[in-house]
Each structure stands twice: as C-alpha cells, then as structure tokens.
C-alpha cells in the first residue's frame, strides 16, 4: 500500500471562537496531504492538470475526534488502500503529538479536462503506484 506523511501547522485564520481549528479546515488539510503524498511519489498534481487530467473530489467523510489548536503541528498520514481504477480513494489520519485527532477519506475521479468525461488514471501514475501493491 502506498502511504506518505507530511506536516502542517494550524494557522490563526483557521481558528474559530471556540478556540479550535474550524472543522471545515480538515478537508483542506486532506488536500494538502494528498498533494504532498503525490509529490513524494514523484507526481505533481499541477503537472497532472497540465497534461489534461483533473481529479474532482466526489465524496468525503470525516470524524473529528479531538480539536486541533492554533499553532499545533499536525502530522498527516495519507493511505491509498488500493490501485486506482476510474476512482481513487485516499484515507487520512491526522495526529498532534502522536495523538489521533481526526480521520477521514475522500474519493476522487479522473476526468478528461477537454471532454469532461471520466477516464482511467494516467499510465505514469499507475507505473509509480504499482510497486506498492505487489
């Protein structure tokens, strides 16, 4: 399975008047983790779009277990549980000081930017991912 880890800090703008990182930020943290996971694999999401493939999110889910606070350093673990087909599932576990604070998932589709139609993942991506599932 492909797995990657990245880190980010809770920004002041992300806090709300409860003193927590507002729950809407987690799906942005997932996006950050996902992009960095692809980068660590040797793929740039920017280049992917440049090559005519976009990956819209088609579903998501989150469990908010504990709050993240201002300036907390969040460790984001991203897991791709299986080789993508026309869809790609990402799972996320977020930790602050080794305590699990949030878990979630997103499913993304592969879409041809020109036609707007679903497509299979680019071979370049499959090529990089395959070794993790053998």
Q: Which residue is associated with the tokens 């040797």?
A: 42
Residue from 33, 67, 84, 121 in contact with a second copy (CB under 8 A): 67
Residue from 62, 76, 78, 84 in contact with a second copy (CB under 8 A): 62
Nearest partner of 55 among 80, 25, 87, judged by Cα: 87
Instruction: Kindly identify the residues of this chain, within the stretch 35-54, that bind a second copy according to CB under 8 A.
Output: 35, 44-46, 49, 54
Least separation in angstroms between residue 124's CB and a second copy is: 17
CB 97 within 8 A of CB 26: no
Residue from 19, 98, 99, 114 in contact with a second copy (CB under 8 A): 19
Q: Using the rule CB under 8 A, give the single segment among 24-32, 81-89, 117-125, 126-134 that binds a second copy.
A: 24-32
Strand ranges for the chain from DSSP E: 2-9, 53-54, 57-64, 73-80, 87-96, 99-109, 111-112
Is residue 124 near a second copy by the rule CB under 8 A?
no
DSSP 30: H
- Terminal alpha carbon distance of the chain: 9
Is residue 123 near a second copy by the rule CB under 8 A?
no
> Angle at the Cα of 28 (from 25 to 30), degrees rounded to 5?
115
Question: Rule CB under 8 A: which residues touch a second copy?
Answer: 11-13, 15-20, 22-24, 27-28, 31-32, 35, 44-46, 49, 54, 56-64, 67, 70-71
């Amino acid at each position: 399975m492909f797995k990657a880890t990245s880190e980010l800090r809770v920004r002041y703008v992300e806090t709300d008047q409860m003193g927590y990182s507002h729950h809407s930020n987690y799906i942005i943290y997932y996006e950050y983790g996902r992009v960095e996971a692809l980068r660590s694999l040797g793929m740039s999401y920017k280049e992917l779009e440049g090559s005519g493939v976009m990956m819209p999110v088609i579903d998501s889910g989150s469990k908010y277990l504990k709050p993240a606070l201002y300036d907390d350093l969040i460790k984001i673990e991203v897991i791709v549980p299986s080789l993508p087909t026309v869809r790609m599932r990402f799972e996320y576990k977020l930790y602050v000081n080794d305590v699990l604070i949030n878990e979630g998932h997103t499913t993304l589709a592969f879409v041809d930017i020109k036609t707007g139609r679903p497509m299979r993942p680019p071979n370049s991506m499959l090529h990089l991912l395959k070794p993790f599932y053998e």
